[in-house]
Structure 1
């Protein structure tokens, strides 16, 4: 069966009103699979009951009670549920600005932006962590469906608490690696990196960043070298190639369509950059990956 990538725009979810927190949550009992898709908001999901699998950016992992996943904008995923034990899944979907609204959350935000890279995108919570996350999910849902004064302030604080629990569930070694990448950063620096993360599928240039944030090309170069140890263009290519590899592994889209969907302005550039990062052409990568799992 051919898999096609679906796109979900965040504005289709909460139908936000002025002054409202860009946030949406729901608890689903999944009796059917969720097809391959991506969206322009962050998503935190937690398995309350049931079993299945999730393929996230081309990597498949088991879903069971206590499993938690965190997706950045445009991460690609699909879910397969077990008909004998359907997944009960709690999901929070929110704008990336939520984790940068307060300077006190800067360290957490910097770590979360590395999900799928230095920080894994999923984990299985232990018994105590899962119990705490269940309570947080219930509290978030109760506030979300209430009309109490200050509900969005409470929701934001509970979501931040849930994200902290998610990050703390990883080993100290993993968190130290993420922290080392994000130390001593200015607010402007993370605004720039955040913008790249949410717009890498669009036309994006160093000159464009300079104009948008009123900084020099040298500033952009130093920023990416200091924080990510990589040049801006190389990092942009890395994000796009990571997306392309996910599409090659999880869909039957043509290589040409994947090059366009991944943000490349020409197929020739896509082929060259992809080979530089993976050591093989997109077609060979897809063929080799298919043979390794057959």
Structure 2
């Protein structure tokens, strides 16, 4: 089955835009009920979710696990995921969306940078909290939701502190239990499907850099023709076509939601040649970048 997830950009999310306009912490929390399928997607911000009740499944980078009361997941930017909730027992969960950079910067929290980037690779992406640990995490999540709702002095400092606390609790649980079945072991990494998802994730993380099929081949130590064949079977597209689609999707968002010049957008999404960018954009959007911007009632900003 071909895989091509939807892209969600913080620049087009009203809740992030509101925080940016107010000069507040790039963070928001919502409580949602899910009784159906939420399609495969990825975004450029981090997401921490916590299930209060209900049942369903979550798939992160091709690995599926059950959702139940106490399940906490942490998705790093560009992790690909989808959710399915039970119609008879809908999932009720809190979702915290935030700019991952707010977790870093304090020298006394250097452990965060050391471990956070292992999520989804050396560490699993989720943990099922139970008993007293569940109660402690649930209380902390409710405090975050309440603090976010109020506009009290020091709100951003409290939110950041509580977010770091809950992420730390998750990291401790993941590190303590990393030998569990939820972690992807070396043998599992040799399976073609897991390899395909690893390659897909790598491209999602580096698509705006000067990478190619050869770069991907060197990184994974696999023959380019093998990667090409496996990737085409998994996504229905070649590696280069897939990267072009990622870059153009990002460019389209920047054209309609930012004040960046078109030449800067060209560089931002990974093209070092404007002609290549313009040609690829026209192939995917059936118009030039400037016409696309104008069609969305945005002025054409000169370089």
Q: Same fold (TM over 0.5)?
A: yes
Query: Residue 30 of structure 2 is aligned with which of 20, 26, 32?
Result: 26
Question: 2:16 aligned with 1:14, yes or no?
Answer: yes
Query: Residue 131 of structure 2 is aligned with which of 109, 112, 127?
Result: 127
Asked if the contact 1:58/1:247 (under 8 Å) is kept, the reply is: no
CA distance in 2, matches of 1:135, 1:171: 22
Asked if the contact 2:58/2:65 (under 8 Å) is kept, the reply is: yes
Q: How many residues of Structure 1 are paired with residues of Structure 2 in the alignment?
A: 213
CA distance in 1, matches of 2:31, 2:132: 21
Seen in structure 2, the aligned counterparts of structure 1 residues 198 and 33 have a Cα distance that, compared at 3 Å, is closer
Question: 2:50 aligned with 1:66, yes or no?
Answer: no
Seen in structure 2, the aligned counterparts of structure 1 residues 152 and 247 have a Cα distance that, compared at 3 Å, is farther
1:140 corresponding residue in structure 2: 144
Greater gyration radius: 2
Following superposition, the deviation at residue 40 of structure 1 comes to: 0.2
Query: Residue 158 of structure 1 is aligned with which of 159, 162, 165?
Result: 162
1:168 corresponding residue in structure 2: 172
2:275 corresponding residue in structure 1: none
Alignment TM-score, normalising by the size of structure 1: 0.63
Q: Which deviations, in whole Å up to 9, do the C-alpha atoms of 1:100-141 show, x marking residues without a partner?
A: 132222112220111111111111112222111111111011
Seen in structure 2, the aligned counterparts of structure 1 residues 93 and 168 have a Cα distance that, compared at 3 Å, is same
CA RMSD of superposed structures (Å): 3.3
Structure 1, gaps ≥5 residues long = 176-195, 206-232, 266-294
Seen in structure 2, the aligned counterparts of structure 1 residues 10 and 248 have a Cα distance that, compared at 3 Å, is farther
2:242 corresponding residue in structure 1: 258
Following superposition, the deviation at residue 163 of structure 1 comes to: 0.2
CA distance in 2, matches of 1:259, 1:198: 8
1:290 corresponding residue in structure 2: none
Q: How does 1:155-234 map to 2 (within 5 A)?
A: 155-172=159-176, 174=178, 200-204=206-210
Q: Which deviations, in whole Å up to 9, do the C-alpha atoms of 1:256-279 show, x marking residues without a partner?
A: 5435457899xxxxxxxxxxxxxx
CA distance in 1, matches of 2:89, 2:82: 18
CA distance in 2, matches of 1:113, 1:247: 28
Asked if the contact 1:41/1:73 (under 8 Å) is kept, the reply is: yes
Asked if the contact 1:40/1:198 (under 8 Å) is kept, the reply is: no
Runs (4+) of structure 1 moved beyond 6 Å?
A: 233-236, 244-248, 262-265
CA distance in 2, matches of 1:199, 1:140: 29
